[in-house]
Structure 1
Amino acid sequence: MKSITAYKQLNLTHLQTALPQLLETARREQWTYETMVERALGAELDGREQKATARRLKAARIPSKKTVEGFDFSFQPSLSERRIRELADLSFVRTCTNVIFLGPPGTGKTHLSLALANRALAEGHSVLFTTLAELAQSLESASHPGLMRQRLRRYIAPSLLIIDEVGYTRLTAEQAHHFFELVAARYEHGSIILTSNTSFTGWGALLGDEVLATALLDRLLHHAEVIAINGSSYRMKERRTESRTPSTLSDTARHAAGDLPTGV
């Protein structure tokens, strides 16, 4: 019982779980005292890192697991694979540089954002994913200034903030002001990955205020990598493939049944 209390007091919860197996292996392999201490400390540190990783992943609210390796660069020839792989070394996070993906819907902007976010999580950075609509609603619905500051801190705190789907929803004056506050607060303090289907010239209409849009873009783009993807939609490609598949299967079945002559 004393040993259990000692584990809790010293916060060695992972070592408590791992110790029986460590002791068994130490006896079998005749570890030295130094080896035993190193393995015991290693087990505790590994357990803490796994727990921290799981906590960061849950807090990040990443909707799906995407990777750079899983992106089909051959389908988007306008996109530089080398540039994306350079971003994947995460120097932009360390230097508080923003990354802006611009392009039509379905061209892989969100995939690349999530791939970089997952890489950042794996390297121990704190991450948070949101859409602009979710962000705007969350900040606007704060019922008093204290709650507003608390929610704003939630988006300011992570090393990397992903804001997806900018351009799909026009913001109210209040929402646009909150969006500006957030970008200004993160300026030179934390990285933002942002995806948008709207060119920067259209942000005045998006925010309903040309002056505010100019001020926001000034901060957002001062330290930023802007990557335009001028290609076709992956989703439309998959839809075209799926639309052909039933017809092919149907023709095959009809050939087998003798309903279609050979060569049709």
Structure 2
Amino acid sequence: MVLRSERWLELRRFRALHEAGLSISQIARETGMGRRTVRKYLAEDAPPSPPQRLPRAGGRASVLSPFAHVIDAWLRAELLLKGTVIHERLVEQYGFTGTYQRVKLYLQEARPRIAAELGIGPDELAGLHRRFEVVPGAQAQVDWGDEGAILAHVGIAKVYSFHMVLSYSRDPFCCFTTSQDLSAFWECHRRAFAHFGGVPKSIVYDRTKTVVRRHVAPGQAVPLHPEAVAFAGHYDFDIDVLAAYRPTGKGRVERQVTIVRDHVLAGRGFASLADLDAAFLAWVPMRRARTHRTHGEVIGVRAVRDHAALRPLPARPYVVAVRHLRHVGKDCLVAYDANLYSVPARRVRHRQLVEVRATAATIAIHATIPDQQGETLLATHPRAVGRGARVVDPAHWDGLPDGHTRSTTTGDTPPRSRPAPGAGPLQALLNRAAAAQVTVDRRPLSVYDQIAGTSPFTTGRSYPKGTTS
């Protein structure tokens, strides 16, 4: 028999769980002890000696011990990291096979120990929350909101709201789109910078695919999307990506999503995205006139200092274009994002491969091979809103059959009479031919009789039997 003093110490910690409502059987399963042993030592205030027990295969020490240093490192970085999050990360990243309850029981011992290392008293753990404040112009936070079918009655199935909030003043910006793709995401940034009159020094994001190229394990550098790097470099701001499962890291903008829904959208009807944007801009002065409960100042007064500290906008905007290859249809239309856009019929052929360059506002279609002048642009269209639209320039169909020569009749009207010989379009065509300009001599039939040595042709001449004329 091997002395297991740590199990006895652990059993002492389970007294609080038993008082909280856990049964003897549940505690026994987690400790690997029998129910009688658990009941015995929980009933006594101070057991005379710790229980002795052989190590049990599959117990907590054998399953969780190899990951204890990983959990401790996560707690040192974020003391209040949830047990469910820790268990999920252990399973995904380290192949942990134990239950969540084992992690939970380990945290009851580890969290106070790590708190003592960090100089945090036991009483300070309850309700612990780290609040941070920034200087003017230092930071903004970005988030999306899903507004659903708010414009379904006008044929727009889905609407999203883009939010950016300046962290110092809580001055908000919001605009509405029908897409969350790369071009729409960064176009909303350009509109936000124009709204604030400058660019913050850093912007906080969660791990959205328009900013992060792929997810990585904790502690590793987050690979950024190339367009995000290019856009941030052009506007001179830093990208701050939150750690996974850290919603409190951008609580200012997440709160703003709810505020806009309650004060701008609730109980109203809208006919277009422009109406939604106009409603938000009309509400901004009222928001800026309010005193914020956290910093205790009028938002508009604090926003003046925030705007003054922003970095200036560059002279030339950076336009993000998403590029895709598409085929030209028989009707000279190119499909992109569930909409159709026309290209010139005289410059393309069926099934030709073209490149679609999509921004938030326009669709440009380019040939993959330059023409004789070195040009590749075939057509430019405003981007369609919603799905199922056809954006056609009538000039692109110049030269294609339009069906104007086809006619039908019910049989009640008589057919058209034929034009007289020598008149009509056919005769006009013959008159223009070169053969019509040749001069032809006219001779009497007697000339041909003399040449053939026959008698003159008469209508009354008779022929002998057995001959033919």
Between Structure 1 and Structure 2, which shows a larger proportion of helix residues?
1
Q: Which has the higher contact order (CA 8 A, sep 6+)?
A: 1
Q: State whether TM-score is above 0.5.
A: no
- The TM-score with structure 2 as length reference comes to 0.19
- The TM-score with structure 1 as length reference comes to 0.30
Q: Give 1 or 2 for the bigger CA radius of gyration.
A: 2
